[in-house]
Structure 1
Amino acid sequence: MFTGIIEDIGIVKSISSSEIVIETKLGDIKVGDSVSVNGVCLTAVHILPGVFSADYSPNTDKLTTMSLLKQNSKVNLERALRLSSRLGGHIVSGHVDATAKISSVEKVGGFYKLKFSAGKNITNYCVDKGSIAIDGISLTLAAVNEAGFEIFIIPETFNNTILKLKKAGDFVNVETDVFAKYLEKFSKNKGSEGLTLEMLKNF
């Protein structure tokens, strides 16, 4: 599990269709540790000073932006959440649901507004003011519609993640709120009556 609070911007040293090697300032990564790379939970398999490598499956390559990375690409990194850590963002599993396309990037006062086009496999789990993870970053939804969603980003987040490098037309990894998925499953298991207020009271 992760919090969506980015700890470092790593640099891709090499990448194939199944392995990525990343340079990082995070110094305590060990073999077997989980690391979020642009929101994708990967397992460190080899460690050298300032560098770690991880393998990933064809399914991960297909469902995420891993195939778009190349040498010297920058990536958001976060180490797995410890039980003693504060949950500064929201619960992020590192299991990307799909990718979304950036429609626009606009500076509004001191903030940045990003609009994304996305399918119902994403928007069905989005609500105004709800949580979403974009390239592993914990963010709050500002608006949701049938075509996609938008978010406002504070300068601190924008300047200390790879969002500052993004532009219209770029794709990002998206993980929706896991609790929305559990509620949908719970509702379906209750049959045709769906999810009711009375059910929630007894949940």
Structure 2
Amino acid sequence: MFTGIIEAVGEISALDNKGDDIRLTVQSKTLDMSDVHLGDSIATNGVCLTVVEKGDDYYRADVSAETIKYTGFANYSAGSRVNLEKAMRTDSRFGGHIVSGHVDGVGHVESIVEHTRYVEVWVKAPDSLAKYIAHKGSITVDGVSLTVNEVKGASFMLWLIPHTLKETVIGDYKVGTAVNLEVDVIARYLERLMLGDKAAHTDTHDISLNFLAEHGYLK
């Protein structure tokens, strides 16, 4: 489990083909690798990856074809910068929100507007994720725990302070940049719980406004 509080920014130094999968090498001069062991998890732009090899300033992880297909890794290359967070320790401060490292979909930056004290960024999420994104709710963007400040359909707006822009890869964003999105895990569980006894016989995607009205969630 992660918190969405980025510890360091790394750079992809190699992408080695291993059949349908790739072995990724990430280097970082600022991520403390002293307590990282083989088999540990590191969220890499929000994707939970298992360390299979490590050194003082790098680690390697295998990325499956499935992960490449459903995350922004399809757009990465040697030199790409990535946000890094080691798995949460039980005795550490919980500064963000519950992040699993399981990306739900890829969004795209729609607009970037610079203000005096912050930057306003609009992101278009896949339509299938729109129901999980709520005003003042939490969302993970490339591994960063952020607050949703406004929602319009499947698009949502973020207010980003200078510290976040400096300490994460969000400062590199341009219009069109693909970003990994993970919605609030509580929203996913609530959706499933709403099915009650029907959960064993209903696809989660079958939940509709009619379903909600029939079961008393809408008036």
Equivalent residue, structure 1, for 2:208: none
Report deviation, 1:147. Answer: 3.6
Count of matched residue pairs: 197
> Whole-Å Cα distance in 2 between the matches of residues 3 and 112 of structure 1?
23
Structure 1: which 5+ runs fail to align?
198-203
Corresponding residue SS for 2:188: helix
Matches within 5 A, 1:165-184: 165-184=172-191
Equivalent residue, structure 2, for 1:2: 2
Question: Taking structure 1 as reference, are residues 156 and 188 closer, same or farther at Cα in structure 2, changes over 3 Å only?
Answer: same
Report deviation, 1:148. Answer: 1.2
* Cα displacement string for residues 112-164 of structure 1 (whole angstroms, at most 9, x for unaligned residues): 11001122222110110000000000000011121411111111111110001
> Whole-Å Cα distance in 2 between the matches of residues 172 and 87 of structure 1?
24
* Cα displacement string for residues 31-61 of structure 1 (whole angstroms, at most 9, x for unaligned residues): 1110000000000000122111000111100
Residue 132 in structure 1 maps to residue 136 in structure 2: no
> Whole-Å Cα distance in 2 between the matches of residues 95 and 184 of structure 1?
17
Equivalent residue, structure 2, for 1:22: 26
Report deviation, 1:189. Answer: 2.4
Residue 91 in structure 1 maps to residue 98 in structure 2: yes
> Whole-Å Cα distance in 2 between the matches of residues 186 and 195 of structure 1?
14
Structure 2: which 5+ runs fail to align?
199-210
> Whole-Å Cα distance in 1 between the matches of residues 146 and 8 of structure 2?
17
Equivalent residue, structure 1, for 2:202: none
TM-score (norm 1): 0.92
Backbone CA RMSD of aligned residues: 1.5
Equivalent residue, structure 2, for 1:11: 11
Corresponding residue SS for 1:167: coil
Question: Taking structure 1 as reference, are residues 113 and 195 closer, same or farther at Cα in structure 2, changes over 3 Å only?
Answer: farther
Corresponding residue SS for 2:159: strand
Q: Report sequence identity in percent.
A: 39
> Whole-Å Cα distance in 2 between the matches of residues 36 and 30 of structure 1?
14
Equivalent residue, structure 2, for 1:201: none
Equivalent residue, structure 1, for 2:201: none
Asked if 1 retains the 8 angstrom alpha-carbon contact of 2:129 and 2:154, the reply is no
Equivalent residue, structure 1, for 2:60: 53
> Whole-Å Cα distance in 2 between the matches of residues 195 and 69 of structure 1?
45
TM-score (norm 2): 0.86
Asked if 2 retains the 8 angstrom alpha-carbon contact of 1:187 and 1:195, the reply is no
2:14 partner letter: S
Corresponding residue SS for 1:18: strand
